[in-house]
Structure 1
């Protein structure tokens, strides 16, 4: 894994692959990515815009 696991997820990560071989661990990650693939950006243009919610930003006197 190239990126460190955030502290609040380390315990969960270790428990989820406990006793698994390296190949099984890779399949576990692949399964999660496939299951939740819709939560990830496909390209730089599909993230950041929505018309679901609106909010105001107080910019003071700017």
Structure 2
């Protein structure tokens, strides 16, 4: 490994490289180091956004009621 694995990804790294060759381990480590910011660090850093809005075309379907 050339770069240290980010702390929040060490467990993922260990699970991912189990039984893999040294070259595969280096590849996984490089990927995690390069893209580490794309992974959640804790349960509070990922949430809702108002940047995008999506609509679902339901056609002429009537609303339905379902128990929660």
**Which TM-score applies when normalising by structure 2?**
0.46
Structure having the higher helix fraction is 1
- Where relative contact order (Cα < 8 A, 6+ residues apart) is larger, the structure is 2
TM-score w.r.t. length of structure 1: 0.50
| Greater C-alpha radius of gyration | 2
